Amino acid sequence: MDIQEIVRQVLRELEQKMPLPEEAPVPNNTEDVIYFSEERFKDVENAKNIAMIERAQSITPARIGIGRTGTRMRTGSYLQFLADHAAAQDAVLKDVGEEFLQQIKLPKLETKAQDMKTYLMDLDAGRQLSTQSVEYLRTHGDKGKSVQIIVCDGLSSSAVEANVSDLLPALIQGLKLKNISVAQPFFIQRSRVWVQDEVAKIVDCDLVISLIGERPGLNTDESLSAYMVYRPTEKTVEADRTVISNIHREGLTPVEAGAYLSDVIEQMLLAKCTGVAFARRKNAHM
């Protein structure tokens, strides 16, 4: 039996142990397409304290208690690792779908990073809007609003597609219920956090919030962060920004994040600051 036949046999055995979800289409050639269950492989044979292992597994998404064969992880765990690694790579390299942007009705702008290679190698290119996007924002952007929301792909397009359709409406609704004016949100392709400084200057808003895809890991490729800064200038640094991270279905859920962010933004507008200055002022009143 050659190595390819061994691999096919192992994959067929894994399929039998993990049946396809009911809604998943059955592929024509099951030897080429394998569907993995979302439940990770967790099994230690002959464990001395299974309760302790299960408790540890319940409080962390880390790959613990997956068992081993000799000095190596089991085939199922290794294949799951490869699948998660591939998902993380896809999250970085693929673009947010045009159909998705049309669905959530977000205009599309771009940075000076014209391709992914430039985006990954040249940080400044992702922090500056393209000439066409600057002109679009000057002509069509909502000026003088309290809050400008921008959606950025960052390092995970998957995070944008998984969270923004629920997060964005919740955030906008929360702000409007507090009588806070909100500019028309838009999407910026191949953008980094600091692009928000240029945006804020053009639209003359009080506070800008960037909903941006986080660097994907092997536990999730769908984690989103929200970076907020009040009236940024040329002297603005990281310490002047406030960030809420781990927004995804297994962390701070998108709808909860929208409500929470609207409350925090209201406080920031009253304090007229973000970042370390806001944290200090908040702690002083506790």
Q: Which residues are annotated as a binding site for adenosylcob(III)alamin?
A: 193, 214
Hey, what are 181's tokens? 């004016």
Numbered residues of the known binding site = 193, 214
191 closest CA partner among 223, 168, 169, 213: 213
211 closest CA partner among 268, 254, 266: 254
Question: Rounded to an integer, what distance in angstroms lies between the CA atom of residue 170 and that of residue 256?
Answer: 8
- Which helix (DSSP H) or strand (DSSP E) does residue 245 occupy? strand 241-247
Give the three-class secondary structure for 60.
Answer: coil
Question: Rounded to an integer, what distance in angstroms lies between the CA atom of residue 268 and that of residue 274?
Answer: 6
Whether 198 and 148 have beta carbons less than 8 Å apart is answered as no
226 closest CA partner among 185, 161, 167: 167
Question: Rounded to an integer, what distance in angstroms lies between the CA atom of residue 35 and that of residue 18?
Answer: 8
Q: Where does the chain have alpha helices with state H?
A: 3-17, 50-58, 75-93, 98-103, 116-121, 131-140, 157-177, 195-203, 254-271, 275-284
Question: Rounded to an integer, what distance in angstroms lies between the CA atom of residue 20 and that of residue 274?
Answer: 47
